[in-house]
């Protein structure tokens, strides 16, 4: 039975039940709400069959559960001009100041030939680790910006936008090589049982499911996604692809 046909049957059942209750009230003047109880399994079926309802319900549940996830976005591309780590560090420092973000001087910072590591504190008090890698590759220099956040699920989308603001402000200082494509990566991870960052995926089986290991990879044009039991990783040349992943992933999905 196709999903569309199932949804149509469910909608007909809802309309028929509501009409029956309303018709009985109009004819007798007495409101009998007992038939409305039959709508509970009907709405449960809608939740199971309609992706949009499933996603929105779980987003609300996730928002109020306030679970914490590890969120690690990354951006990279190669520049054609020769640049030094000193120059990159100077541009990074200026970018952080312009965004109102400060280096946490209470923690040790790392600065080497090819890596700049900062512990940053934002104006809102959010603390995160920043790694900026500078790799010389023949005639190109590869810049890799990677940030590690620990944030509430409800703040993942907001944090992603803040990262993109940092990335744009920093990389505007460097001209991308025509031989290089930009690449965005994000990793969302949690170690909490029954709080898994899956796309909607349901495996039905008889008896209780005990999943020891799980891995799924799929592609959608430029987007590549890999999910495991407590982790989702996505990579694409297009920021819009990652926007969709961050916006629509459902961390309360379960393997049934």
What do you get for the CA distance between the two ends of the chain, in Å?
21
Q: Which residues contact 157 (CB under 8 A, 6 or more apart)?
A: 246, 247
- pLDDT tens track for 130-142: 999 998 877 788 8
- 64 pLDDT exceeds 70? yes
* Count of CB atoms situated within 10 Å of the CB of 129: 16
For residue 217, what is the enclosing H or E element? strand 215-220
Nearest of 141, 137, 165 to residue 73 by alpha carbon: 165
- pLDDT tens track for 158-193: 999 999 999 999 999 888 887 788 999 999 887 665
Domain ranges of the chain: 3-49, 65-253
The pTM of the full predicted model, rounded to 2 decimals, is: 0.76
Q: According to the model, what pLDDT value does residue 197 have?
A: 54
Taking domain 65-253, whether its CATH number is 3.40.50 is answered by no
Task: Provide mean pLDDT across the span 200-226.
Answer: 72
- pLDDT tens track for 218-246: 898 899 998 887 788 999 999 999 998 88
Residue labelled with tokens 């460097």: 174
Q: What is the DSSP letter of 133?
A: E
């Amino acid at each position: 039975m196709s999903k569309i046909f199932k949804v149509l049957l469910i909608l007909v059942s809802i309309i028929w039940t509501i009409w029956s209750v309303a018709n009985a009230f109009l004819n007798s003047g007495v409101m009998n709400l007992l038939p409305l109880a039959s709508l509970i399994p009907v709405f449960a079926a809608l939740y199971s069959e309609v992706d949009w309802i499933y996603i929105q319900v779980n987003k609300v549940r996730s928002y109020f559960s306030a679970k914490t996830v590890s969120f690690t976005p990354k951006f990279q591309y190669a520049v054609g001009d020769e640049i030094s780590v000193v120059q990159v560090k100077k541009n990074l420092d200026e970018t952080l100041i312009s965004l109102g973000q400060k280096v946490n001087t209470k923690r040790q910072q790392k600065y080497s030939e090819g890596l700049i590591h900062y512990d940053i504190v934002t104006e809102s008090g959010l603390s995160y680790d920043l790694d900026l890698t500078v790799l010389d590759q023949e005639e190109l220099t590869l810049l890799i910006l990677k940030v590690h956040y620990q944030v509430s699920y409800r703040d993942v989308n907001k944090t992603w936008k803040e990262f993109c603001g940092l990335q744009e402000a920093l990389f505007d200082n460097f001209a991308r090589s025509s031989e290089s494509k930009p690449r965005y990566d994000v990793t969302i991870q949690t170690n909490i049982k029954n709080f898994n960052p899956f796309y909607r995926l349901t495996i039905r089986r008889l008896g209780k499911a005990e999943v020891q290991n799980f891995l799924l990879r799929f592609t959608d044009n430029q987007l590549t996604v890999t999910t495991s039991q407590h982790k989702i990783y996505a990579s694409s040349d297009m920021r819009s692809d990652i926007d969709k992943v961050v916006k629509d992933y459902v961390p309360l999905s379960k393997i049934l």
